[in-house]
A and B are shown apart, each in its own frame.
Chain A
Amino acid sequence: MKENALVIHPRDNVVVALRNLAAGEEVEAQGVEGLTVLQEIPASHKIALRDIPAGEEIIKYGEIVAVSTRLIKKGEWVHTHNLESKRWRK
């Protein structure tokens, strides 16, 4: 299987695209099944592995890297439009 995405840490709730993915493409990554991307995802950007409710931590590298600002659907692009830095909330 040729992988098009990478789950960096088992605790992560996002998967990283290894190339540009088109809407409707299946994510091919170790440990990931049945994940269709809902929109175009640029290479090295993040995709939600499952539904992430508003206010939930975004986990990448097994660590908190941000907090969602609204519900992010499984397969959706996870980026600055739907998350914020924990630091901004201080």
Chain B
Amino acid sequence: MRDITGYARKNGKYGVRNHVLVMATVSCVNGVINRISREVPEAVCVPHAFGCGRGGPRDTQILFRILAGMVHHPNVGAVVLIGLGCERSNTKALKPFVEKAEKPIEIFNVQDCGSVQTAQKGAEAARRMLAEISGQQRVSMPWDKLLAAMECGGSDAMSGVTANVALGAVSDWLVEKGASVIFGENTEMIGTTHVLTRRAKNEQVAKRIAEMIDQAEQRAKDIMGPLASWVISPGNMDGGMSTIAEKSMGCIHKGGTTVIDQVVDYGEWPTGKGLILQDGPGYDGDSMAGLAASGSQIMFFSTGRGTPAGFPAVPVIKVASNSRVYHAMVDDIDINAGVLVEGRTMEDLRAGMIDHMIRVLNGEKTKAEANGMDVFTMMTTDPPF
């Protein structure tokens, strides 16, 4: 079967999952989320380390955008929000950002009735919502309603040779099909301004790409010293990479070779179609949150050293760059791009990845989903105080 199905949302988006999301607005209530998770394991429960203690405008913008992005996410059919009461992203402040989500939302605050009662109420609401949305059926989903994210993390020397090249081949196939593809990790674009700007849709997009990479380079210099963006590590060189441009090419190749339609900010919803870049960080968990909040319904995640990380409510397909890590972490990794070394061709591998992706889009669980390996974190720019 080559067609894809999803849950048609009122706002015109399609989800490839239909989850009840139970999310904390602040770390103080994580215990409540964990209690609900034990009582209602079918719900996607998201405790996290954020919500207060950072006051800068950029961090506040990111906090609200990522939390609201989870509520709006097309793979989420209904939401239980657990707040405390006095936090930065308290449920009253968050409300204007989530009330247009056009899906059932129930909100509880621990300062109203304590943790145990809140957990009880939250669990009851989650069960009720699961029953309520269980009748929703998958319908045929047009390819142009799909946004797929490409991520790489725990990379090794083969990542840029096997796995990311395979991800790039899938990206090109998806864009050709009419779907959109998004990838971020601006630190891993350093040295490739000449490549990415040339592929921009127009001058405005090219200018935005150049600015994004300049800023990433400046940040790297500020944090790591003046040579940070010029030098690659001895480990990189042992792996066959000779320059920053070569190293970064191995990363950006996961987005394929098509025209770059738009650059979006971290966690911002794209309005464009085709290949989208995200001005987001290189750290896997932070990057995934931005890509998910931008509305991507599925992610490919290449890894060479191996990571089990998935993401709440979003199926993450793991692709190993080499057979050793694939076999060592076979319970975590879905696809082995290391087979390229064993005689399988890129066309053959790509065809297998597309088949796998279609099955996942239609409901088959990824290993990270089946294992419950959700990671939820987000980018911050200032230290907590």
Contacts and interface: CB of A to CB of B under 8 A. Distances in A.
Contact of A65 (B230, B249, B340, B343): B249
Given A2-B343, A64-B194, A45 B240 contact: yes
A61 B194 contact: no
Contacts of A42: 238, 240
Contact of A44 (B195, B239, B343): B239
A36 interface: no
A86 B191 CA distance: 10
Contact of A87 (B165, B195, B230, B346): B230
Contacts of B380: none
A63 B248 CA distance: 11
Contacts of B343: 1-3
B239 A60 contact: no
A62 to B, nearest CB: 8
Interface string A46-88: 1000000000001011111110000000000011100111111
Contacts of B192: 63
B245 A64 contact: yes
Given A44-B157, A60-B246, A16 B240 contact: yes
A17 B240 CA distance: 9
Contacts, number: 82
Given A3-B343, A87-B191, A79 B244 contact: no
Interface in A16-50: 16-19, 30, 42-46
B200 to A, nearest CB: 15
Given A61-B253, A86-B245, A79 B240 contact: yes
Nearest to B159: A44
Contact of A79 (B162, B165, B242, B245): B242
Contacts of A66: 242-243, 245-246
A87 B245 contact: yes
Interface in B331-348: 340-343, 345-346
B237 interface: yes
A55 B240 CA distance: 20
A66 B191 CA distance: 11
A17 B239 CA distance: 11
A43 B345 contact: no
Contacts of B244: 85, 87
A2 B192 CA distance: 33
Nearest to B198: A63
Contacts of B162: 6, 18
B161 interface: yes
Contact of B341 (A18, A63, A84): A18
Contacts of A2: 342-343
A44 B242 contact: no
A63 B243 CA distance: 13
Nearest to A16: B161
9 contacts: A3-B343, A17-B240, A18-B340, A63-B194, A80-B242, A84-B243, A85-B230, A85-B245, A88-B230
Given A2-B342, A17-B240, 10 more contacts: A63-B245, A64-B194, A65-B243, A66-B246, A78-B242, A79-B237, A79-B240, A85-B242, A87-B245, A88-B230
